[in-house]
């Protein structure tokens, strides 16, 4: 993997560039489509490509449980298994540790949106005991599929991801609650940093022969605390990573600030990926503060609930105002759905429980987000970013 910066936006950390992998290049900033189980839900690889998506991210935890990394490997690796010829990413499984542990049954997200709630280390250990137990060596958890007891460590996270064979993989980390105390976040950072070193060691051992193309990204954590975020970034920057992921565990309203703390400490010449973030306002904030790539399930998830992104804001087209509308979802959109179907038809599909609606709305949403990031990239190149951001936000969130 190589990374080339083409343009730095004046008075900003934003930049445009290109990540080159053996399976193709990614013009950055870029939105990476999420294909959790080696499929972007409801879409064929050809449909994903038609949205302008340059790369796909698959989920290590889910593919480990089903069908298993050995089957993927025997099928020729992730690219052949899912018939995707472009670049691929796999996450480490760290977020699933969080969702089975701290977040299990609590409604806590990795990104906080409300009042701060302090959770001390003892409370977090009690919560983790529900489905996942974290120790300094790794994580013990139970499969959500069949209840089987499993173990995930930095070493086997690397082994699983190498068998999956993505172009870019992530170090195993502990994703913490945004409400966790400074004391616990410090302990979690110490653990994550130790795991990062173990991931590098195992990755180097496995990076031989036909797997030498795989690049490893470290993951910055530290919660909502500036000292820990900067510490995590500084220490990871000293290690032999090809790029960096930035984990969640922050307040949504402070996301841009938290990202800036990190990007001010990370090496300029290496790419930065913001994990699990994909709403329009978050994308602008992330890019302005130094992010190169994003991934998020939101475009396809909200599509399955009947919601779409438009240049006039987010809309739920299952509601009655769209029953007789002959307009497309968005007159400014050039996706397959908007060029061929009107809102009354899409509304009809939803109300009739026809599964085609999930495909058509997913095509639109993925195209919309991908095109938005493409346009942001062009605005960086032409030094019009701030005007573009102002115009978009004013219209989208009015």
Instruction: Write the DSSP symbol of residue 209.
Output: G
Please list the active-site residues: 91, 295
Residue 20 pairs in a beta bridge with: 2, 25
Quick one: which of 373, 238, 355 has its CA closest to 293? Answer: 373
Q: How many CB atoms lie within 10 A of CB 352?
A: 10
Number of neighbouring beta carbons within 10 Å of residue 397 = 10
Neighbours of 228 (CB within 10 A): 20
Task: Please state, in angstroms and rounded to a whole number, the distance separating the CA atoms of residues 261 and 97.
Answer: 25
Q: Is 93 left (phi over 0), alpha (psi -120 to 50) or beta?
A: left
User: Before 230, cis peptide (omega within 30)?
Assistant: no
Using CB atoms within 10 Å of the CB of residue 105, give its burial: 0 to 12 exposed, 13 to 18 middle, 19+ buried: exposed
Are the C-beta atoms of residues 286 and 395 closer than 8 Å to each other? no
* Beta-carbon count within 10 A of 101 CB: 25
In terms of DSSP bridges, do strands 139-142 and 149-152 run parallel, antiparallel, or are they unpaired? antiparallel
Tokens of 90: 């796999």
Three-state DSSP string of 244-278: EEECCCEEHHHHHHHHHHHHCCCCCCCCEEECCCC
Which run of H or of E encompasses 294?
Answer: strand 293-295
Torsion angle, CA of 337/338/340/343, rounded to 10 degrees? 90
Give all strands (DSSP E) within 22-123, no chain letters: 24-28, 30-34, 56-58, 88-90, 111-112
């Amino acid at each position: 993997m190589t990374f080339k910066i083409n343009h730095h936006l004046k008075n900003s950390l934003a930049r445009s560039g290109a990540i080159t992998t053996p399976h193709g290049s990614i013009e950055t900033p870029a939105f990476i489509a999420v294909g959790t189980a080696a499929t972007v839900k409801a879409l064929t690889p050809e449909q994903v490509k038609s949205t302008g998506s340059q790369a796909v991210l698959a989920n290590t935890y889910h593919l480990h449980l089903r069908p298993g990394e050995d089957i993927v490997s025997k099928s020729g690796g992730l690219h052949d298994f899912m018939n995707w010829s472009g670049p691929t990413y796999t996450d480490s499984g760290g977020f699933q540790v969080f969702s089975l542990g701290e977040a299990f049954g609590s409604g806590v997200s990795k990104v906080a949106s409300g009042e701060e709630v302090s959770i001390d280390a003892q409370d977090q250990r009690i919560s983790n005991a529900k489905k996942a137990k974290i120790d300094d060596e790794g994580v013990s958890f139970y499969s959500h599929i069949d209840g089987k007891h499993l173990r995930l460590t930095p070493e086997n996270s690397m082994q699983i991801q190498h068998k999956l064979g993505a172009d870019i993989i992530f170090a195993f980390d502990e994703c913490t609650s945004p409400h966790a105390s400074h004391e616990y976040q410090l302990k979690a950072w110490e653990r994550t940093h130790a795991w990062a070193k173990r991931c590098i060691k195992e990755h180097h051992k496995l990076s031989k022969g036909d797997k030498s193309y795989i690049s490893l990204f470290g993951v910055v954590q530290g919660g909502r605390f500036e000292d820990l975020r900067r510490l995590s970034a500084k220490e990871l920057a000293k290690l032999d990573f090809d790029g960096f992921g930035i984990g969640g565990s922050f307040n949504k309203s402070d996301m841009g600030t938290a990202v800036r703390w990190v990007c001010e400490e990370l090496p300029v010449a290496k790419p930065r990926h913001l994990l699990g973030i994909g709403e329009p306002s978050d994308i602008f904030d992330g890019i302005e503060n130094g992010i190169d790539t994003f991934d998020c399930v939101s475009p396809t998830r909200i599509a399955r609930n009947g919601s779409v992104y438009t240049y006039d804001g987010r809309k739920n087209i299952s509601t009655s105002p769209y029953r007789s509308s002959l307009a497309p979802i968005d007159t400014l959109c050039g996706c397959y759905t908007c060029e061929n179907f009107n809102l009354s038809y899409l509304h009809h599909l939803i109300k009739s429980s026809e599964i085609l609606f999930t495909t058509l709305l997913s095509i639109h949403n993925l195209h919309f987000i991908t095109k938005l990031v493409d346009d942001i990239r062009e605005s960086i190149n032409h030094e019009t970013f701030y005007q573009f951001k102002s115009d978009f936000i004013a219209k989208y969130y009015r």
